Amino acid sequence: MSCPPFDLRDYLFGELAEAERRQMDVHVRSCGDCQEELERLRITQATLLELHDEDLPQRIGFVSDPVFEPSAARRIWRAFWEDGPKLGFAGAAMLSAALLIFTFFRPMPPAPAPMGSANVEQQVSERLADEVRKAVAESEARQEKKTAELLTAAERRFEQQRESDMDNVAAEFLYLQKKYNVIANASYETGGMR
């Protein structure tokens, strides 16, 4: 049998048309060489998929090749950002400058209006009363919610117990009814034979 003109790689990666794929399916089942080659391709694919991606080298060429040499701006940028002490010094300098600017050029907040002690005490007592009312309302709301949850859970347990009791009563009734039928049949058979 001659091998079809299609490439096994196209077949493996699903790049063949449907008719060509069916033809290759039939051929691969019957051709041992193509089966071995297809298995080798599958092993190669699995091995390649297991390999980790590696970064391509950024520089391929001779040291004297000026095409791949980084620009002056890039060299300065790298020298600054890849040097920890320089970066730390620059950060400290920027923070110091920001603190100095903030210290000398910040706007002064307006001074609060003077208040009498009676006015202050009244405001404090009003705030305190508002906070107490708010705290009591929140506590009552939490308590009502908890009570509702407990009632719902108790009703659920009661309903489950009631259903369980009804099932037990039904099972007991069925058992007693069967027992009664057995006794009734036995007495009927005993009475009927005399």
Position 125 pLDDT exceeds 80: yes
Whether residue 21 lies inside any domain: the answer is yes
Whether residue 22 lies inside any domain: the answer is yes
Position 15 pLDDT exceeds 90: no
Between residues 7 and 161, which one has the greater pLDDT? 161
Position 49 pLDDT exceeds 90: no
To the nearest 10 degrees (0 to 180), the angle between helices 84-105 and 72-81 is 80
The pLDDT value given to residue 194: 46
Whether residue 128 lies inside any domain: the answer is no
Between residues 37 and 75, which one has the greater pLDDT? 37
Between residues 102 and 180, which one has the greater pLDDT? 180
Average pLDDT of the residues of the chain: 81
CA distance 95 to 93: 5
Whether residue 14 lies inside any domain: the answer is yes
Average pLDDT over residues 167-172: 92
134 DSSP assignment: H
Best mean pLDDT range from 91-95, 110-114, 131-135:
131-135
The pLDDT value given to residue 34: 85
Kindly report, residue by residue over 22-33, the tens digit of the pLDDT. Answer: 888 888 888 888
Domains held by the chain: number: 1
The pLDDT value given to residue 14: 82
Task: Give, rounded to a whole angstrom, the gap between the first and last alpha carbons of the chain.
Answer: 92
Confidence of residue 72 (pLDDT cuts 50, 70, 90): confident
Whether residue 28 lies inside any domain: the answer is yes
Whether residue 130 lies inside any domain: the answer is no
pTM: 0.30
Position 166 pLDDT exceeds 90: yes
Q: How many CB atoms lie within 10 A of CB 126?
A: 10
Between residues 144 and 189, which one has the greater pLDDT? 144
The pLDDT value given to residue 173: 92
3-state secondary structure 62-118: CCCCHHHCCCHHHHHHHHHHCCHHHHHHHHHHHHHHHHHHHHHHCCCCCCCCCCCHH
Whether residue 85 lies inside any domain: the answer is no
Contact (CB, 8 A) for 67 and 41:
no
CA distance 27 to 38: 12
Q: How many residues does the chain have?
A: 194
| Tokens 């991606």 sit on residue | 53
User: Which residues form the domain of 39?
Assistant: 8-50
Between residues 101 and 162, which one has the greater pLDDT? 162
Whether residue 131 lies inside any domain: the answer is no
| Lowest-confidence segment of 65-69, 104-108, 118-122 by average pLDDT | 65-69
Average pLDDT over residues 82-86: 76
> Residue 11 burial by CB count (10 A; 0-12/13-18/19+): exposed, middle or buried?
buried
